[in-house]
Amino acid sequence: MSSKLAILWVAAALALSAQEAPLDNSVKINLPADSPLTLISTNLGESHVTQRGSAVVLDLDVSLTLHNSSPNRVRGVTLLVAAQEATPGGKASVSVPSLDVAPSQNFPVRINLRLLRPAQMGSGALVQVNLDGVLFQDYSFYGPNRLDSRRTMTAWEMEAQRDRKYFKSILAARGVEGLKQAMLESLNRQAERPRLDVQVSRGRAVASAAAGDHNARFAFLRFPGEPVEPVDGWAEIAGNEARNPRIDVHNLSTRQVRSVEIDWIVSDRQGKQYMAGSVPASGPEFNLKAGSTSRVLQDTALRISKDGGTPLAISGMTGFVGQVEFADGKVWIPDREELANARLLGVLDPSPEEQRLMDLYRKKGPKALADELNKF
Amino acid sequence: MTHPNQSILALYAGQDLGWFTRRRTEHHLSRCRECRGEVQAFASARDNLAALENLPAISWKPLSAEMKANIRLGLAAGECVRGARTPSLLASFVQFSNARAFAACASVMTLVAVGLFLQRPTPSAPAMAASQGSILRATASGIELNQGGETLSLLHVRTGDVTYSAGAQGSMRAGYVDSDTGNVTINNLYVQ
């Protein structure tokens, strides 16, 4: 009997420490008064807050319905999700690129978020959702752009146009059968693409050098017509950790450049290449006037592993210019043909639009894909 | 140099040390690469346990009802058996079981009190973040920012293929096609 009593006590204690609570004012959606998007509905689905001992877990499953109240077609939206009280140095965003929302149309945006934080924090909204930017068909932009979402969404839209143009040219030249073949090639490429687990650390002692650490130099791929060329670059390597990348870039164009993103590929001892990430540079401290040279640098550490946790011994690094944004907001990205010639398509992530088209092909077949391409 | 023992490093990795010991361990870690490696290994082992969080939630109400029913059944069975015992034996048994029940209740209450003490409120996020740094990573269900014990995750729940990419400025991105809407969704986490 005493053991049953003990179980009852422990069960009661655990039940007290894991209580679900209503959401109340845990989530706040803020759209500016002059926003081109209006909020039609907010569905919190199975969202809930759970008290676990001295911590609170918020599981948020929000489905927003937004309305395009502007006269332009919407191509992309970025929402800034802030839980500043719990993660003061961290931010989150949810972007939906590759849209084609006509004026007066509604469209959904989903946010699935989990927040774990101490229970004794303030009583305000746990999560605030704000509009960071809206990109329109003519590349005009609305929003505070706190997350540099104008550049990101413009690049995605340019990639979308580039990839649609590629698949449309195949459709025009070889018909639906040719399109099907091209899609199968894309799907195979993605299935075979080597993937890594990358962990990003900041704020730790990422600059400490120790025995076995060494500086490794980047090898650079160059594309014809690129407005910025990488000149020299290196990073500290210690086993499977790459730290503090520094890359010198030269502006070949006649225009001022606002930001540059260098894509970063690492290779293992067998020479197999993997996409590790990107090294972006932007902001007021990065000033790349026409004909000048500047440095892209980040104080961070990437810890790289593969196959579910096996550390990847980094034996080589390759970089190339993946994106350039000029002072007037225009963006340059590499051609698809140049990426194919450099054998990068099998290493890089597909663009969001290629991802969408592959999904459409997989679910609805080549005819539906051809119809979709013909809409643009 | 005297190194902290393994249990101290393990507790540090789990942010379970008291304030004074944590500060002392931090001071040592700032000078000892070997122990930093140990802490990283413990932290990685903890991460692997994160998958266990996906176990289905226990429904306490039916469990409690079942336990109460079992206790009632046990008491009823005890009543049936009691009739067959001699009075003197019964009296000593009751005395003995009361003592046992009292000891068990006292133990459980002590356990609960210790548990509540150990689950006392944790230090505020900014203080922890400053000492622990920030880590962004991809998990089985999404991408996660861990800052001094507080975590913020963006999950992808209605999808098959997900592409992840890391930004050296301190960002992690997961892109997927939402199977309900057919729209590409790109989740981003940033750390400053």
Q: What is the pTM of this model?
A: 0.71
B23 and B40 in a common domain: yes
Query: Sign of dihedral through CA atoms A35, A36, A39, A44?
Result: negative
The maximal CA–CA distance of chain A, rounded, in angstroms, is: 86
What is the number of domains present in chain B? 3
Of B105, B161, B185, the CB nearest to A110: B185
pLDDT above 80: residue A101: yes
Closest approach of B190 to chain A, Cα-based (Å): 5
Provide the Cα torsion A219, A223, A225, A231; round to 10°. Answer: 0
Contact B144, B136 (CB under 8 A): yes
A273-321 per-position pLDDT tens digit: 888 899 988 877 787 999 999 988 888 889 998 877 788 888 899 999 9
Q: For the residues A233-247, what does the mean pLDDT come to? A: 90
Least Cα distance to A274 among A311, A299, A235 occurs for A311
Query: For A76-100, what is each residue's pLDDT tens digit?
Result: 999 998 875 655 557 889 999 999 9
- Model confidence at B113, pLDDT cuts 50, 70, 90, reads low
Q: Is the pLDDT of residue A106 over 60?
A: yes
SS3 A162: helix
Chain B residue with Cα closest to A280? B169
Q: Do A93 and B191 touch (CB under 8 A)?
A: no
Statement: residue B74 has pLDDT above 60 = yes
What is d(CA A92, CA A115) in angstroms, rounded to the nearest whole number?
11
DSSP state of A321: E
Q: Do the Cβ atoms of A99 and A84 come closer than 8 Å?
A: no
Residue B79 lies in a domain: yes
Tally of residues, chain A: 376
**B33 → closest Cβ in A96, A210, A279:** A210
Compute CA A17 distance to the chain's CA centroid, rounded to the nearest angstrom. Answer: 36
Confirm whether B39 is domain-assigned.
yes
Of B126, B188, B192, the CB nearest to A92: B188
How far, in Å, CA of B145 to CA of A91, rounded? 9
- In a domain, residue B174? The reply is yes
Contacts with B64 from chain A: Cβ below 8 Å: 8, 11-12, 15
Helix (H) or strand (E) holding A316: strand A316-326
The pLDDT confidence band at residue A209, using thresholds 50, 70 and 90, is: very low
The answer to whether residues B12 and B67 belong to one domain is no
Q: Which of B161, B102, B96, B14 is nearest to A355 (CA)?
A: B161
Quick one: CA dihedral A166, A172, A173, A175, positive or negative?
A: positive
Q: Among A183, A160, A159, which Cα is nearest to A367's?
A: A183
Assess if residue B124 is contained within a domain. Answer: no
Task: Please say if the pLDDT value at position B10 is more than 90.
Answer: no
Contact A316, A269 (CB under 8 A): no
CB A131 within 8 A of CB A68: no
Q: What is the DSSP letter of A318?
A: E
Task: Determine contact, residues A259/A280, Cβ cutoff 8 Å.
Answer: yes
Q: Are residues B37 and B64 in the same domain?
A: no
Task: Calculate how close chain B gets to A68, using CA atoms only, in Å.
Answer: 16
3-state secondary structure chain B: CCCCCHHHHHHHHCCCCCHHHHHHHHHHHCCCHHHHHHHHHHHHHHHHHHHHHHCCCCCHHHHHHHHHHHHHHHHHHHHHHHCCCCHHHHHHHHHHHHHHHHHHHHHHHHHHHHHHHHCCCCCCHHHHHHHHCEEEEECCCEEEEEECCEEEEEECCCCCCEEEEEECCCEEEEEEECCCCCCEEEEEEEEC
Confidence of residue B72 (pLDDT cuts 50, 70, 90): low
Q: Do B184 and A197 touch (CB under 8 A)?
A: no
d(CA A355, CA A359): 6
Å between B7 CA and nearest CA of chain A? 22
> Are the C-beta atoms of residues A296 and A320 closer than 8 Å to each other?
no
- Between the CA atoms of B30, B36, B42 and B44, what dihedral angle is there, to the nearest 10 degrees? 110
B158 and B171 assigned to the same domain: yes
Burial class of residue A194 in the structure, from the number of CB atoms within 10 Å of its CB (0-12 exposed, 13-18 middle, 19+ buried)? middle
Q: Using a CB-CB distance cutoff of 8 angstroms, which residues of chain B are in contact with residue A91?
A: 189-190, 192
Residue B129, pLDDT > 50, answer no
Report chain B residues whose CB lies below 8 A from the CB of A64: none
* The pLDDT of residue A190 is above 60: yes
Which of B70, B163, B176, B178 would best serve as a mutation to test chain A binding (most A beta carbons within 10 A)?
A: B163
Statement to judge: residues B30 and B17 lie in one domain = yes
Is B142 part of a structural domain of the chain?
yes
Q: Give chain A positions within 8 Å (CB) of B155.
A: 112-114
The reported pLDDT for the residue numbered B11 is 84
How many Å from the N-terminal Cα to the C-terminal Cα in chain B? Answer: 34
CATH number, domain with residue B45:
1.10.10
- Closest B-chain CA to A96: B185
Q: Which helix (H) or strand (E) holds A366?
A: helix A352-374
Contact call for A202 and B189, based on CB within 8 A? no
- The terminus-to-terminus CA distance of chain A in angstroms comes to 74
Cβ contact (<8 Å) for B157 and A61? yes
High-pLDDT (> 90) share of chain A, %: 51
Q: Is the pLDDT of residue B76 over 70?
A: no
Say yes or no: B32 and B6 in one domain: yes
Contact A3 B104 (CB under 8 A): yes
Task: Kindly list the residues from chain B whose CB atom is less than 8 angstroms away from the CB atom of residue A116.
Answer: 150-152
Judge if B72 and B26 occupy the same domain. Answer: no
CA distance A305 to chain B (A): 12
Band (pLDDT 50/70/90 cuts) for residue B87 is very low
Q: How far apart are CA B133 and CA B189, in angstroms?
A: 15
Which DSSP string do the residues of A228-247 spell out, in sequence order?
Answer: EEEEEEEEEEETTEEEEEEE
Interface contacts A/B by beta carbons within 8 Å: 256
DSSP state of A114: E
B151-190 pLDDT per residue, tens: 888 888 766 688 888 998 889 999 999 888 889 999 999 8
> What value does the mean pLDDT take over residues A176-184?
93
* Domain extent at residue B45: 1-55
The pLDDT of residue B126 is 33
Q: Is A129 helix (H, G, I), strand (E, B) or coil?
A: strand
Closest alpha carbon to A157 in B170, B181, B123, B184: B184
Task: Out of B36, B55, B74, pick the residue that ends a domain.
Answer: B55
User: From the centroid of its chain, how far is CA B135?
Assistant: 19
- Domain presence at residue B31: yes
10 Å CB burial of residue A65 (0-12, 13-18, 19+) is: middle
Judged by CB atoms closer than 8 Å, whether chains meet at A1 and B78 is answered as yes
Asked if B48 and B64 sit in the same domain, the reply is no
Quick check: is B114 in a domain?
yes
Write out pLDDT tens, residues B14-71. 778 888 888 888 888 888 877 887 887 777 776 655 544 444 445 555 556 556 656 6
B36/chain A closest Cα distance in angstroms: 10
Decide which of A285 and A108 is more confident: A108
Q: Which residues of B touch A88 (CB under 8 A)?
A: 125-126, 129, 147
Residue B144: which pLDDT band, with cuts at 50, 70 and 90? Answer: confident
Q: How close is the nearest chain A Cα to the Cα of B21, in Å?
A: 19
Q: Quick one: pLDDT at residue A181?
A: 93
Same domain, B102 and B50: no
Alpha helices (H) in A102-261, listed in sequence order: 149-192
pLDDT at position A367 is 93
Domains within chain A, CATH numbers bracketed: 17-144 (2.60.40), 156-191+354-374 (no CATH), 197-348 (2.60.40)
Separation of alpha carbons B89 and B82, rounded Å: 10
pLDDT band at B105 (very low <50, low <70, confident <90, very high): low
Read off the pLDDT of each residue in B101-122 and give the average, rounded to a whole number: 59
- The length of chain B is 192
What pLDDT does residue B127 have?
Answer: 32
B155 inside domain: yes
Both B71 and B49 in one domain: the answer is no
Q: How far is B161 from chain A (nearest CA, A)?
A: 9
Q: Are residues B50 and B3 in the same domain?
A: yes
Cβ contact, residue pair A6, B63, below 8 Å: no
Whether residues B50 and B64 share a domain: the answer is: no
In the DSSP assignment, the letter for residue A288 is B
Of residues A179 and B88, which shows the higher confidence score? A179
**Which of B152, B172, B192 has the most A C-beta neighbours within 10 Å, making it the best mutation to test the interface with A?**
B152
DSSP state of A250: E
- At A8, the pLDDT band (50, 70, 90 cuts) reads low
Q: How confident is the model over A324-364, as pLDDT tens digits?
A: 999 999 999 999 988 888 788 888 889 999 999 999 999 99
Q: What is the largest CA-CA distance in chain B?
A: 81
- pLDDT of the residue at A14: 47
Residue range A121-143, pLDDT digits in tens: 555 667 889 999 999 999 999 99
